[in-house]
A = this chain, B = another copy of it.
Amino acid sequence: MKFEDIPTPAVYRLSFYLRQLEAFQKGDKHTISSKQLGDALGYTDAQVRKDLAYFGQFGHPGIGYRVEELISQLRKILGTDKVWNVLLVGAGNLGRALMAYHGFLRKGFRLAAVFDADPSKVGQEFGELKIESMDRLAAVAGEEKIKLAIMSVPADAAQAVADKLVAAGIRGIMNFAPVSVSVPADVSVQGVDLAVQLEQLSFKMSLAGAEVQMESGK
């Protein structure tokens, strides 16, 4: 079975299994059943087993899964057993908050360079990072073979920046701008839009007992 055939939602849950396992590890738990893992995350035990089984046989019948073992397997699958260099475009409020966040490295991601279009920001330093001008982007990405980028730029700049990133060899983009960007099929985009998340909450909270207006009898 190929990775490509594995259900997208299963891959997504893998990240949550990993996160939860790391929490169990901190709590000095060395072995865990699909039921325990599922309960902690709101999934069924069958779901957990099936998801993991897509990728191999990691469990031990009668015992469960060994926490350390499964963590390292999941990291290997997700590709975070090695450190990825990541570049950041956009050093506004959000961008600077990301620069100050030191949790990335522990998760396998290293902020390697930061770029901004605003000349007054270029040259500013934050810890080890110095903001560089946009026209350095392609060169830096090429030299350091960077494949991942985080984009925290205004909505109206997003498509142009995405194009630049793709041209510079970037293959995965995390997009904080509240617009859809178009990229070639071999480039992945993960969007993070706070408004979208809040809207989903808003919807769920308007749910209590409401019915859709519809012609009767349906």
Interface of A toward B, CB cutoff 8 Å:
1-4, 6, 11-12, 14-16, 18-20, 23, 40-42, 54-56, 77-80, 84, 86, 93-94, 96-98, 100-101, 103-104, 107-109, 147-148, 171-174, 178-180, 188, 190, 192-207, 210-214, 218
Q: Are B199 and A78 in contact (CB under 8 A)?
A: yes
For this chain, the copies found in one complex come to 2
Q: What B residues does A23 contact at CB under 8 A?
A: 179
Task: Report the nearest B residue to A202, measured CB to CB.
Answer: B79
Q: Are B212 and A2 in contact (CB under 8 A)?
A: yes
Q: Are B101 and A93 in contact (CB under 8 A)?
A: yes
User: Can you list 15 A-B pairs with a CB-CB distance of less than 8 A?
Assistant: A3-B207, A3-B210, A11-B200, A18-B199, A23-B179, A54-B212, A56-B213, A103-B178, A103-B195, A148-B202, A172-B202, A172-B205, A174-B197, A188-B201, A190-B200
Q: Are A79 and B172 in contact (CB under 8 A)?
A: no
Among A56, A108, A200, A206, residue most surrounded by chain B Cβ atoms (within 10 Å): A200
Q: What B residues does A98 contact at CB under 8 A?
A: 194
Q: How far is the CB of A56 from the nearest CB of chain B, in Å?
A: 6
Please judge, given known A-B contacts A16-B196, A103-B195, whether A84 and B202 are in contact too, CB under 8 Å. Answer: yes
Task: Report the nearest B residue to A84, measured CB to CB.
Answer: B202
